[in-house]
Amino acid sequence: MSENITSTESILASERNRIREIETITAGDWGSHGERVASLKASAIDGTLTAGTLQNELLGILRAARPRGPAIHGVHSHAGDTSAMLTASLLIHMGREATAEKNYGDATTQAAKSLGLNSLHDICRASFSLAGLPVPSNRDEMLKAAFSTMNVSGVLSNVANKSLQTSFAAFPSIIPKIARTLSANDFKTHTGYRASAATTFEQLGATGEIKHGTVAETSYTFRVDTFAKMLAIPRQDIINDDLGAFDSFAAQLGRGGNEKLQDLLWTLILANTGSFFASGNGNYISGAATNLQSSSLDTAVTKMMRQTDANGKPINALPRWLVVSPENKFTADALYQARAVNSTGTTTVNSLPGANPFYGLYEPLVSPWLSNASYSGYSLTGWYLFADPADIAAFGVAYLNGQSTPIVETSATDFSTLGVQMRGYWDIGVCQIDHRGALLSKGAT
């Protein structure tokens, strides 16, 4: 039995890795080719298209989308863009030719391929050749000089950021759907404002005077902090040309940044800081009948849509997302996808089916943080409704200067350590905005 379980887990892990790779190479904005890429992605996931064919198709799309210029011959034509050439070469060597195409274009990518650089050592040597400088004969001296004076660290940083971005984009996150994006230009506390009765338009009087709205009482604050992690690539991996470790570290930093953002926002939401979700705020229901089901969803939707402004007038807070834990995924999917339900509320053969009033409404989003015991306020039965944050945002995520992905930098290690350092950092913050933009159903427990 244990062997069968191990075999099954191995198969599932392999399948997850395969799908993750497909998600990675198709990530990003493909513009007018988005539908074509989505179709290719679906074919690759269901197995009717191989990963190799998918890569070739993506390269074809990238090349066809670019204007054709005159052919460029020889390496020296690219000497002015050494960094791009070396970065593209390194990406190709790491199996990311599509990424090189997307970022540096067909001409640079093809020229980089013509260099025939098949290792990090080759790329270090090329950094001297492209600059018209002699290559040190000693390998250790060559590597040291390449990292210290030939901007190979900058090339590695460029590659690391590309790896980080693809890993970051592949991370399954619902935060962009439920939280408003905010921008801060420094680390000070910033003030934002939400819609209120004070901003409702009023009819002009005979004098044509426009009355001033008062927004001080409708403000919220946010600030960003820096979160970071550093990893070191040992000298042995560099000597052995183990770029797998380098690529893996960069991807891990991308995932680590996303995990921190999840941790910050879900800690804030689940802790219910300042009694954000409360009966007095009209955004909280509890009791034995608040497990996820048709009746409780009806109650929650009604309560959320009855939210009002300071003058008691409706603000039209429409639920958009049904956010649940993995334990509630089946029920949430059924409420969203099933066209009919048993009108008697039973599962007997004689029960009469009736139309499901929630069919196609309140799209389910699943977050494993909701039921994770590491977080204060976690619940196996609780669930949430969220409005579209572009309309009424309950929560916000702030980025320094709009930098919505982490940054990776590489450099030689300090004198006491041999190798290369890689650090990832991100300036982010989370905040509460408007309690009327979300509702919590406590569930039975």
Give Cβ neighbours of residue 192 (< 8 Å, ≥ 6 apart): 182, 219, 220, 221, 222, 396, 433
- 97 neighbors 91 (Cβ within 8 angstroms): yes
Residue with tokens 């009023």: 202
Say what the pLDDT of residue 212 is: 66
| 314 bridge partner residues | 308
* Segment 20-63, tens digit of pLDDT: 667 767 776 677 777 777 777 777 777 777 766 777 677 667 65
pTM greater than 0.85 (yes/no): no
- 23 neighbors 15 (Cβ within 8 angstroms): no
Domains defined for the chain, CATH in brackets? 2-23+37-168 (no CATH), 172-201+216-445 (3.90.1690)
How many residues are recorded in the chain?
445
- 417 neighbors 407 (Cβ within 8 angstroms): no
SS3 128: helix
Q: If phi over 0 gives left and psi between -120 and 50 gives alpha, with beta otherwise, what is residue 244?
A: alpha
Cα separation, 37 vs 43, whole angstroms: 10
Amino acid type, 11: I
- 126 neighbors 78 (Cβ within 8 angstroms): no
Amino acid type, 66: R
Q: How far is the CA of 14 from the CAs of 19, 313, 417, 439, in angstroms?
A: 9, 55, 36, 38
Say what the pLDDT of residue 238 is: 65
Of 109, 98, 96, nearest in space to 159 by CA: 96
What are 338's two structure tokens?
Answer: 């099933």
Say what the pLDDT of residue 54 is: 73
Give Cβ neighbours of residue 22 (< 8 Å, ≥ 6 apart): 41, 44, 45, 51, 54
* Segment 244-260, tens digit of pLDDT: 666 777 778 888 889 99
Report the Cα–Cα distance between both ends of the chain, in Å, rounded.
Answer: 35
Number of CB atoms found within 10 A of residue 133's CB: 12
SS3 432: strand
Say what the pLDDT of residue 186 is: 92
Of 411, 214, 238, nearest in space to 311 by CA: 214
Cα separation, 102 vs 63, whole angstroms: 9
CA torsion 255→243→229→373, rounded to 10°? Answer: 40
Cα separation, 113 vs 89, whole angstroms: 6
Say what the pLDDT of residue 271 is: 96
Q: What average pLDDT values come out for the chain (445 residues) when binned by 10 residues?
A: 52 66 69 75 75 70 51 36 81 80 84 78 80 78 71 75 79 93 93 71 71 66 91 68 67 87 97 95 93 94 92 89 96 90 50 75 96 95 96 95 85 54 87 96 86
Q: Phi then psi for 276, rounded to 5 degrees?
A: -60, -45
Residue with tokens 């000070």: 188
Q: How far is the CA of 188 from the CAs of 191, 221, 268, 303, 434, in angstroms?
A: 10, 10, 20, 36, 21
- Give the rounded distance of the alpha carbon of 223 from its chain centre: 20
Cα separation, 163 vs 247, whole angstroms: 7
- The CA angle 125-128-131, to the nearest 5 degrees, is 145
Strands 383-387 and 438-441: antiparallel
- The CA angle 163-143-91, to the nearest 5 degrees, is 25
> Helix, strand, coil % (nearest 5) of the chain?
50, 20, 35
- The CA angle 120-126-131, to the nearest 5 degrees, is 140
- 268 neighbors 279 (Cβ within 8 angstroms): no
Cα separation, 231 vs 245, whole angstroms: 11
Beta strands in 61-185 (DSSP E): 179-184
